[in-house]
Structure 1
Amino acid sequence: MGLDVTPLKQTNLGEQVARELRVLIVDGRLVSGVHLIEADLSRDFGVSRGPIRDALRKLEAEGLVETRQRGTFVVGLTEQDVAEMFSLRQTLESFALRLCADRDDLDWGAFEDPLARMRAAADVSDAATFALADLQFHALFYELSGHRRLNALWRDNEPTFSTLLTLTTARDVDLHPSAESHAEILEYVRAGDLERALRELEVHLEGASRRLREARREASVEAP
């Protein structure tokens, strides 16, 4: 297959393989119908077939690949799939914000650490660190919502959401506006101004969706 990836040498190899393949599928470099051959992937990643199988099982559970009689093939993400992922996240997160706003005992201080790390990452243009803090910030709304099943839905979709976030963050020339958008969402929710918080969240996700579509268009042009 000859994928342009870095051989893996650390623990949790199956998760690392899944993460690498997930990015290639989400950004469109691995398109629907591509046959993922274990032997080729094992060579490309520099690992045994065990972690490859673990990764493919994980991606199949996420709906990104499927196993047929002749092997495992990329299902991929269509433009409709991408639109559905963002609309799903907006629906889930809007509900999470409402639940958090209704809680009298919520520890708002928990948001300060990821927000501070986003601002610090923005100062040095570190998109990867920013994306990790960004994900933690949003995850807190689900964790602190008090809704166990809502949080479980987030966790089920978190690997794909995380990949979407990493890809869109990498396209931001200046990360400071995104950091302040998060600060505004938090400020509005804490102040009880839920409608402004939901509007800011909508703008936030619309921008991310647009950047991902741009990344996928560029990847489709570059793909052989």
Structure 2
Amino acid sequence: MSINKSGQKDAYALILDAIDVGVYRPGDRLVESELAERFGVSRTPIREALQRLETQSLLTRDGRSLIVSELDHNQLAELYVVRAELEGLAARLAARHAADEEIKVLRDMVEEDRQLIGDPVAMARANRRFHKQIHLASHNRYLVQQLDLVHRSMALLATTTLAAEGRGEGALAEHDAIVVAIEAHDGDGACKALREHISRAFETRLKLDSVDLDAAE
């Protein structure tokens, strides 16, 4: 499908989104001419976008080619540690600073997302929106910028943990606990609930990866 976009920012966002939704997966080679044709842009903004993604370590060199980066076990663990700390801080600040309207949006998201259980792709999109809303509700632009970088790296994970049996229901229960704490303006509780949510997601990720390793043997 060709999407008529132009400019470096658009090319960057289009490639990043394609990685995020699994069009391009870890280990896939990205070819400048093919990307330009797919997205309907010239090769110059594609080239600049690829350079930007390589600088952010989302792409790596394989000879003269660029491929989508793969995270090893240590990188995965490091990513989740940083994510838990930053997201916990965002939840703490949201409990202090979120407007009533922002809290209402978070509550509505939890209720509406119950309809998505059983559709892990849709739940993954909804999950990203939920977390982004917490980031914004922190009212700290520097924290939001750092979390954007972390979540770009999350695009390198080939599967969503929400595809694991029972994880969708569990994640929504955890989201509910986070919102309850934010609604109560309980910063410590919100931080603890968010960090526990990330911990359970990491645990699920490790279990999924162990199954993949067993299948490969």
Q: TM-score, length-normalised on structure 2?
A: 0.74
Which has the larger displacement, 137-146 or 53-62? 53-62
Contact 2:54 2:60 in 1 (8 A): yes
Aligned residues: 205
Post-superposition shift, 1:190? 1.9
Write the distance in 2 (CA, Å) between the matches of 1:69 and 1:164: 23
**Corresponding residue number in structure 2 for 1:5:** none
Write the distance in 2 (CA, Å) between the matches of 1:222 and 1:46: 33
Post-superposition shift, 1:101? 1.8
1:70 aligns with 2:64: yes
Write the distance in 1 (CA, Å) between the matches of 2:177 and 2:121: 22
Per-residue CA deviations over 1:3-34 (Å, capped at 9, x if unaligned) read xxxxx444569545444446422xxxx2xxx8
1:198 aligns with 2:191: yes
Write the distance in 2 (CA, Å) between the matches of 1:171 and 1:56: 32
Write the distance in 2 (CA, Å) between the matches of 1:96 and 1:130: 21
1:111 aligns with 2:106: yes
Q: Alignment partner for residue 152 of structure 1, among 136, 145, 151?
A: 145
Post-superposition shift, 1:163? 5.7
Say if 1:168 and 1:62 are closer, same or farther in 2 by CA, change over 3 A: farther
Contact 1:18 1:56 in 2 (8 A): no
**Corresponding residue number in structure 1 for 2:83:** 89
Which SS does the other structure have where 2:160 is aligned? Answer: helix
Per-residue CA deviations over 1:127-179 (Å, capped at 9, x if unaligned) read 12211221111111211212111111122333333565961112244522221
Contact 1:90 1:202 in 2 (8 A): yes
1:143 aligns with 2:136: yes
Contact 1:185 1:201 in 2 (8 A): yes
Contact 2:57 2:69 in 1 (8 A): yes
Say if 1:109 and 1:52 are closer, same or farther in 2 by CA, change over 3 A: same
Write the distance in 1 (CA, Å) between the matches of 2:168 and 2:30: 38
One-letter amino acid matched to 1:113 = D
Contact 1:114 1:137 in 2 (8 A): yes
Contact 1:38 1:52 in 2 (8 A): no
Write the distance in 2 (CA, Å) between the matches of 1:205 and 1:160: 15
Say if 1:222 and 1:165 are closer, same or farther in 2 by CA, change over 3 A: closer
**Corresponding residue number in structure 1 for 2:50:** 56
Post-superposition shift, 1:111? 0.9
Write the distance in 2 (CA, Å) between the matches of 1:94 and 1:188: 12
1:178 aligns with 2:171: yes
Write the distance in 1 (CA, Å) between the matches of 2:106 and 2:130: 6
Contact 1:114 1:134 in 2 (8 A): no
Write the distance in 2 (CA, Å) between the matches of 1:205 and 1:73: 28
**Corresponding residue number in structure 2 for 1:101:** 95
Q: TM-score, length-normalised on structure 1?
A: 0.72
**What runs of 5+ residues in structure 2 fail to find an aligned partner?**
none
**What runs of 5+ residues in structure 1 fail to find an aligned partner?**
1-7
